[in-house]
Amino acid sequence: HRIARRTHAAVERADERLNMRVERLAQVVPATIVREAQQLAQTESQIMATATSAVQRSSDRLDIRAARVAALDPAVQLARGWSITRRADGKLIRSTAKVSEGDVLTTSLIDGTITSTATQTSSTPLPNDNDSPTPKD
């Protein structure tokens, strides 16, 4: 009987320890789950903020590039009062050296085109910084 009693007492103590551990685990696990869920939510929030910021920066860069492209649009230059002149073959004229007397020219303006014939050319160099007057002391 003594062995049976001791065995039974040992089993009961082990059962009590097991029950205590189960209760402690039941208290710890929900707290751990809550803590991990909060950390997950915080990480998700940080990822969303980072992604939103990256998308906004990309959108801003795209807007800047679109504005640059729009500024280069020939229609914008025409609206500013500039004109675009082409030879009869459609090539742009960038220099008076490329035009000869009698060449047919087409000049584009904001509201249409003008066709003309070159009767004379003259070259006038554009002013540069070296030609600018300097202030006197």
The series of mean pLDDT values per 10 residues for the chain, 137 residues long, is 86 90 82 89 94 96 95 90 95 94 96 96 73 48
pLDDT (0 to 100) of residue 33 = 83
Sheet holding 84-87, edge to edge: 84-87, 104-109, 112-117
Residue 19's pLDDT is: 87
Q: Can you give the pTM of this predicted structure?
A: 0.47
Residue 96: DSSP 8-state = G
Domain extent listing, the chain: 1-72, 81-124
pLDDT at 137: 43
Query: How many distinct helices (H) and strands (E) make up the chain?
Result: 2, 3
The confidence score (pLDDT) of residue 93 equals 96
Reported as a single tens digit per residue, the pLDDT across 59-78 is 999 999 999 999 889 998 89
What confidence score (pLDDT) does residue 105 get? 98
